[in-house]
Structure 1
Amino acid sequence: MLIAPSLLASNFLNLEAECRMINESEADWFHLDVMDGRFVPNISFGLPVIQSIRKASKKVFDVHLMIEEPGMYAEAFKKAGADNLTVHLEACPHLHRNIQQIKQLGMKAGVAINPHTPVQLLQDVLRDIDLVLIMSVNPGFGGQQFIPHTLDKIRTLRQKIDQLSLPVLIEVDGGIDLTNARAIAEAGAHVLVAGSSIFHATDPKSVISALKQADKQQHII
């Protein structure tokens, strides 16, 4: 199980310390949510922040673009330090072109889907991508509750990926904590994105460690 703490929930006043905590923890990726105030009703951070924190870590930078016209900025995010670049199916009328651009720039290509979007709409690009990001909350804000029917979407997608023997990772983002991580892992997820449950915890490193064992332990609470 890969764990990707979402910096959207971190203390921006002490971002260097938050990055140090992730570096010292068992976390695998930095998850970085970029919002434009158009595709989602919020604005987060952008290129300068990613460029700055890239200097503070050698872990994978998993950049999630919740923006319109992501193709205009793909090269800039590569230069800023992105290793994975995920775009939203709903924001890309020419999705295959966006995927090709990301891979040609040397990044892993991901496609995200919102809670209302069926996983079946991904079938024509599954062979071209490296990961699918299933949103388990409506994107735009942290601290929301996990939407239960996401588990069915994970199972359906995992079955299709296994059927085709594809090396595609299933990443899940939104409302993940120690009460539901095991169920999400059992449904077939490979990567857990967690924000509030990590950064608002008394001992964030312990939470990361427990989440990382979600697919192995009988009880993680």
Structure 2
Amino acid sequence: MNFSDNLKIIRQQKKMTQTDIATQLHVSRQTISSWENGRSYPDIGMLVQISTAYDFSVDQLLKGDLGMLKHYEAQSANNRRQQRLVAISYDLVVGLLFLSYLHYFLHWNDGIVTMVINGGLIVMTTTLIMNYNYFDDWATTKRQAWQLVGVITMLAVLNIALVWPQLASQIPSTQFLNQHAGAYLAGNVSGKLVGDFLHLFIWTAAAVMAIEIPLNRARKTSD
């Protein structure tokens, strides 16, 4: 018997409707229907929740369904690859963020070094955000939500304070305004401001990831 048939029979034996089990598992009724018709599979975490809801072991749910077993083997292999990618991305983000701040404070003027550090930080921060799957765990309570807001606000304010002297220096003087054409001035100033704000955003996003990922891991360990 395959997994989808097994799931349907067990639910019916428990005298539960698709809506009942969907409510218990916090998914839609259509999702339950899709599982029971073999159109899709639950992920590994959800499979454990199904096992608990039906009071059946995972082995009993999967018994005889070779396709399902192969699906989870492939999913496990993919999860391991994704975890390695997240770990490598995190280390690179922390290292590049440190170099980016160091570069800013020491006023290095090497354009290639600046491009490599900032470009690498953008790429690796984006990679980390796209492959990290535990953002929902960052604010499971109101207290954690306010702590997260506080961290983001604090980092944003600190980064703004760091770049403000440079931003302020780019505000054109009256003499500069009189000497340059409006179109040139608008393009030149707006380009610099966009670059600075992008830098500010990446700094903040990378710093939030650098702080919150180990904090979330520590919470899970303590629980």
Higher relative contact order (CA 8 A, sep 6+): 1
Give the TM-score normalised by structure 1. Answer: 0.20
Higher helix share: 2
Structure with bigger gyration radius: 2
TM-score when normalising by structure 2: 0.20
Higher strand share: 1
